[in-house]
């Protein structure tokens, strides 16, 4: 059988039922829920300051072009009336646990991706619902009624399609991609909608004539592998609507990092601000994981594409973005290259994550004040 776009449509014999749930503007929505004076106003969750970046923005703030990971000073320029609220990760984690409790009423197979999103395998759901759509409707209703928050959900036969579906009608939406219509629905989407396809990959695909998922599905897999290595065939599989990854309950993330490629190559001594900015972004991402990391990694790429990594593992993990930045800056002293060496990229990462500890220990590790402020995502 072929769809209108000419793509062959396979009818899988054993269809899974996967839901992707994404809390809408989670941090900002929690702030607006808990402080009614913020409702309807452009709320930005971030510390103020030249080196701060945005943790989250309400939909009112997004209308001004404000986005997560944007420098706070730029957000202030885009919307001078934006209300800045300092992040409170203890509260966000507490709300996230309540969302997770709602998920657990419907499935034992839950893969949390962060505090605000997760996959659920509801092929055999716990609530006795007739369909995955009914499960998703129930989850969204319970979140709304019990927590006064909105969640978007996507339903599909695999993780890739469920993730695409959850973005379809945001905010506060539900969309279903049925197996028989999957190729037809995803074909016209830009390839940038595929996880892992960023701006650089998007440009590279466009350079060989691939702009939509339909283009990608019709491409030669061998040619894609020549251009993009192992990621090429993987892209081709996703463009067919195929994704056999299981939903992994309590998946442990091994590392988190942020990288920055410079507009022009720089000497090592000129990387301070870049390292601090990457440390803050990495720290923000780590806050979603509710575990402490003992290893700090500094990654550098020279102008001739040589990659260097330096790491430090400590008994006591960094307790703030500032501490993480200081360790990363100190790791530069272990780089034994000529001072004339230029660099095109720097990255800061965290690894060696502990299993979840007691709330007391986690509170001490993640919420230690630095200079009178608590830094985080």
Residues annotated catalytic, as ranges: 117
Q: Which residues of 58-85 are buried (b: 16+ CB within 10 A; e: fewer)?
A: bbbbbebebebebbbeebbebbeebbbb
3-state secondary structure of 291: coil
What is the four-CA torsion angle of 199, 202, 204, 207, rounded to 10 degrees?
-130
Q: Is the dihedral of CA 368, 96, 47, 67 positive or negative?
A: positive
Q: Report the C-alpha gap between 354 and 368 in whole angstroms.
A: 17
Structural element, H or E, at residue 307: strand 307-313
CB 297 within 8 A of CB 307: no
Q: Report the C-alpha gap between 6 and 240 in whole angstroms.
A: 12
CB 366 within 8 A of CB 353: no
Structural element, H or E, at residue 162: helix 159-166
CA-based end-to-end distance of the chain: 48
Whether the ω angle into residue 171 lies within 30 degrees of 0, i.e. cis, is yes
Q: Report the C-alpha gap between 117 and 240 in whole angstroms.
A: 25
What is the four-CA torsion angle of 278, 284, 286, 292, rounded to 10 degrees?
100
Which of 42, 41, 43, 49 is CA-nearest to residue 71?
Answer: 49
Which distant-in-sequence residues (6+ apart) come within 8 Å of 72 by Cβ? 44, 46, 47, 48, 49, 50, 52, 53, 54, 84
């Amino acid at each position: 059988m072929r769809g209108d776009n000419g793509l062959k449509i396979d009818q899988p014999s054993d269809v899974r039922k996967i839901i992707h749930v994404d809390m809408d503007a989670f941090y900002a929505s929690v702030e607006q829920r808990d402080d009614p004076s913020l409702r309807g106003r452009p709320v930005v969750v971030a510390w103020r300051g030249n080196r701060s970046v945005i943790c989250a923005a309400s939909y009112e703030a997004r209308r001004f072009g404000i986005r997560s990971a944007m420098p706070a000073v730029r957000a202030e320029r885009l919307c001078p009336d934006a209300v800045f609220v300092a992040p409170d990760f203890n509260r966000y984690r507490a709300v996230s646990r309540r969302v997770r409790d709602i998920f657990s009423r419907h499935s034992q197979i839950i893969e949390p991706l962060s505090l605000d999103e997760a996959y659920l395998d509801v092929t055999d759901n716990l609530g006795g619902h007739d369909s995955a759509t009914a499960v998703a409707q129930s989850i969204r209703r319970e979140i709304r009624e019990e927590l006064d928050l909105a969640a978007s959900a996507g339903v599909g036969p695999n993780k890739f399609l469920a993730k695409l579906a959850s973005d379809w009608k945001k905010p506060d939406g539900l969309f279903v991609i049925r197996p028989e219509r999957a190729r037809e629905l995803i074909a016209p989407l830009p390839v940038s909608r595929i996880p892992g396809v960023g701006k650089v990959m998007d440009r590279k695909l466009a350079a060989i004539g691939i702009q939509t998922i339909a283009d990608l599905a019709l491409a030669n897999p061998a040619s894609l592998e020549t251009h993009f290595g192992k990621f090429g065939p993987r892209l081709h599989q996703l463009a067919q609507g195929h994704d056999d990854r299981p939903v992994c309950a309590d998946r442990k993330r091994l590392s988190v990092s942020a990288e920055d490629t410079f507009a022009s190559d720089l000497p090592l001594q000129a990387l301070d601000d870049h390292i601090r900015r990457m440390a803050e972004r990495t720290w923000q991402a780590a806050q979603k994981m509710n575990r402490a990391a003992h290893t700090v990694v500094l990654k550098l790429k020279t102008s001739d594409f040589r990659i260097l990594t330096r790491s430090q593992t400590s008994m006591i993990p960094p307790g703030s973005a500032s501490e993480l930045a200081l360790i990363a800056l100190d790791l530069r002293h272990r780089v034994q290259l000529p001072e004339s060496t230029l660099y095109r990229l720097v990255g800061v990462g965290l690894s060696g994550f502990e299993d979840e500890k007691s709330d007391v220990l986690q509170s001490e590790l993640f919420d230690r004040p630095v200079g009178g402020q608590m830094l985080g995502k």
